[in-house]
Amino acid sequence: MISYSVLLQKLNEKGLTKTALTRELGISSRTMAKIGRGEKIADHVLEKMAVFFGCSAGELCQTISDNVLLQTLRDEKNIRMPGGLYHELQVRMTYNSNHIEGSKLSEDQTRLIFETNTVDVGEGIPVDDIIETVNHFRAIDFCIDMAEEPLTEDIIKELHRILKQSTKNSSLAWFAVGDYKKRANVVGGRETAKPKEVAPRMKILLSEYEAKTDITMNDIIRFHYEFERLHPFQDGNGRVGRLIALKECLRFGLIPFIIEDAKKLYYYRGLSEWEREKGYLTDTCLDGQDTFRKLMSIFDIPS
C-alpha cells in the first residue's frame, strides 16, 4: 500500500494538490481516499504514480518513522546514497563484525566491495570472506527494513539464511542454513545448547524479551549474551547476534553499537565473564555505542 505521508511529501516537492494529481494521472478521488485510509490500491495505479514521481514503487510504499536515525538510514538506503551514514554503517559494521570472526578482508577491501561491487583480493583471501561480506550488506538492509517489527524466530532465521547463503557450508545438508543447528558445538571451550534444546529455549528467550514493556540498552545487551550463550546456529552466531542488536536498537530508538575488531578481546571477555561480572560486556557495548554516536555526529544526526 502507498504511504500517505510519502505521497504528501512527493506532492509538496512538485507543488501539487491531491486533486491536481488525480487530474494528471486520470485516477479517481475514491482511489485517493483509499490511500488516505491505508488501503491497498491496484498495482497499475501504483506503477503509474511511481513513474509520475520518478521513483520506485517501493519508495512510495515506505513507512515514515518518527525515529530520525532509522528514517535517515531508510532514506539513504532507498537511493543507495554514497558517502552518508548508511554507507558508513554498511562498511564499518560489516568489516568489524566479519573481522572479529576471522575474515581476512581489510576495511579498504570491504569498502571497495560495497562501493564498486569489485575487490582487489590480493593473496590468500577465502572466497567465503567475499561472499559473506556481500551477504552481510544484505543482512543490514534486512535489519533496516524490519527494524520496527517484533523480534521473532523467523526474522532471526532469515538473518542467518542471508548471511550464510551461497557459502561453502551451505552445500552441506546438515549445516542447515536458515535453521537451527543439527550438531552440538562449543564456543570458547564452553558447551552450548544441544540441538534438541535450541527451539524451546529460543521460544522462552524471545517470549521473555518481547514481554518487556520498556526495552533498554541493558535488555538488548542481556539478550545478546543469552543468544550467544545458546549458540542456536551451526556457525554465524556472533554476526547474527550483532545484527539482531542493530535491529533492536533501531526498533526502540536507541543508538546502535559497533564492536570494533580492535576491541574483540574485551568483547569476548565480556561474553565469557557475564555471569560473574556483567560490566565487562556492558562497557564494551557502550563503547561501541560511542563509536556509532561519533559517526552520527559527522552527519549532524542528533543523538
242 is in an annotated binding site: yes
* Active site residues per annotation: 231
237 labelled ligand-binding: yes
**Residue 128 assigned ligand-binding role:** no
Does 134 show up as a binding residue in the annotation?
A: no
Check the annotation: does 51 bind a ligand. no
Distance CA 128, CA 174 (A): 18
236 annotated as a binding-site residue: yes
Residue 268 counted as an annotated binding residue: yes
Q: How many CA atoms lie within 13 A of 116 on its CB side?
A: 8
- Asked whether residue 4 is marked as a ligand-binding residue, the answer is no
Q: Hey, what's the cell of 264?
A: 574483540
> CA-to-CA distance for 98 and 103, rounded, in angstroms?
5
Query: Which candidate, 142, 1, 165, places its Cα nearest to that of 77?
Result: 142
Residues annotated as binding site for ATP?
235-242, 267-268
Residues annotated as binding site?
235-242, 267-268
